[in-house]
Amino acid sequence: MNIETVFNESDRSIYEKEFRDWLPEKIFDSHVHVFDENNFKPDYKLPGKSCYQKFNGTFTLEQCLEIVDVLLPDQEFSMNCFGTPDTEADLEAASKYTGKIADNKRIFGMALVSPKDKIETIKHRINDYGLIGYKPYRNFVDWMDYEAVTIFDMLSPEQMEFANEKGLAITLHIPKAARLADPSNQEQMVEICQRYPNAKIIFAHIGRAYFMNNVIGFLDKISKCDNAYIDTAMVNHPGVLEYAFNNFPRERIVFGSDVPIALLRGKSVEINNQYAYLMGEDYAIGSTIYDANKVVQFTTFFYEQLRGVKKAAQKVALSTKEIEDFFYNNINDLVTGIKI
């Protein structure tokens, strides 16, 4: 991996001008994908436009820390990480790697979990690898139509009971095309929190709400559940972030980036009550519009996310303490409270 393809002089000047004096000393990224070559089943070939091509097919702890070093040069960095939940992932091997790198001081890890995994397998992954929770994904519910999958299909009752017993954290990427606004999600997000009150449910990407109409009015119900959290991974929309800070308990909003996807050059933009990833690099990461003619120069999604947070934080006048809590204390308190 050539660090220059990820971070260049113009990124450095963005850091100097916009972030150096604003970012707190400690940053805990709650949403990072870290994995070695064993994350995928043998013989698996990454698609040509997979964003992982940029990192030669792996994103190891060493690769991650090398980049964080230049991206956040003055910050002490902690993270919660998991493998990449691809359909071709080897869930056991990925969880083992996460356990190997987790020191449960600065680096915490979650197990990739399919609802088909037997409860003994899950107990083994959590207990033997010293992991703090689960990373399920809609991809693993492969026996039904993709759009039919609901939250309760993604983890089995036994898996949820074990999470409840141990007080585990679960980073949940909610299903359905309508995302946070989907009626079944609205119901089941509350239900999963209520049924398993000791589990900590972190709704990733603010419930995948990347544009205003998808978030307005839809945080009200989960905001009342004490064990519901939201992470801000890949959200760079200042309006969405501002809405979250105003409508969800701030002590349960945690910073997340979605590195390494967040290391690509691009920006998520709202367009006509939808969103798209405007991309400066030709990788496919969902609803992508690639700037093939190099009309603009991009920085990373990571920095666009920091910009979005900064704007929103200024708009709602977050205190210094609240900024430190968002970037570090909220998630650090959550994960260090879990007995492993």
Q: Which residues bind Zn ion (CB under 5 A)?
A: 258
Q: How far is the CB of 31 from Zn ion (least distance, A)?
A: 6
Q: Which amino acid is it at 108? A: F
Which tokens hold the place of 310? 């900064």
Q: Which two tokens stand for residue 315?
A: 């708009």
Q: For residues 81 and 9, what is the distance between their CA atoms, to the nearest angstrom?
A: 28
Choose among 68, 70, 76: nearest CA to 32.
68
Q: How far is the CB of 34 from Zn ion (least distance, A)?
A: 11
Least distance CB 32 / Zn ion (angstroms): 8
Alpha-carbon gap, residue 38 to 90, rounded angstroms? 7
Q: Which is nearer to Zn ion, 18 or 57 (CB)?
A: 57
State which residue, 11 or 258, has the beta carbon closest to Zn ion: 258
Q: How far is the CB of 204 from Zn ion (least distance, A)?
A: 6
Which is nearer to Zn ion, 117 or 258 (by Cβ)? 258
User: What does each C-alpha distance from 70 to 4, 146, 195, 284 come to in angstroms?
Assistant: 10, 38, 43, 25
**Closest alpha carbon to 263 in 82, 59, 108, 84:** 59
Closest to Zn ion by CB, 258 or 304: 258
3 state DSSP class of 59:
strand
Q: Tokens standing for 318?
A: 């977050």
Q: How far apart are CA 41 and CA 35, in angstroms?
A: 13
Which of 304, 274, 336 is closest to 133 using CA atoms? Answer: 336
CB of 287 to Zn ion, least distance (A): 15
Q: Which residue of the chain is nearest Zn ion when measured via CB?
A: 258
Do the beta carbons of residue 240 and residue 212 sit within 8 Å? yes
The string of DSSP codes covering 294-313 is --S---BHHHHHHHHHHHHH
- Give the nearest distance from C-beta 161 to Zn ion in angstroms: 25
Least distance (Å) from Zn ion to the CB of residue 265?
18
Q: Are 283 and 54 in contact (CB under 8 A)?
A: yes
**Shortest gap between Cβ of 145 and Zn ion (angstroms)?**
23
CB atoms within 10 A of CB 180: 24
Least Cβ distance, residue 137 to Zn ion (angstroms)? 9
The residue (of 93 and 235) whose beta carbon lies closer to Zn ion is: 235
Select 208 or 310, whichever has its Cβ closest to Zn ion.
Answer: 208
Nearer to Zn ion by Cβ, of 75 and 171: the residue is 171
* Strands of 226-334, DSSP E: 228-231, 253-254, 266-271, 274-279, 288-290
Phi, psi (degrees; rounded to nearest 5) at 228? -100, 130
Considering beta carbons, is residue 182 or 258 the nearer one to Zn ion? 258
Of 240 and 262, nearer to Zn ion (C-beta) is 262
Cα(23)–Cα(318) distance, rounded to whole angstroms?
A: 13
Number of H helices and number of E strands within the chain?
A: 14, 11
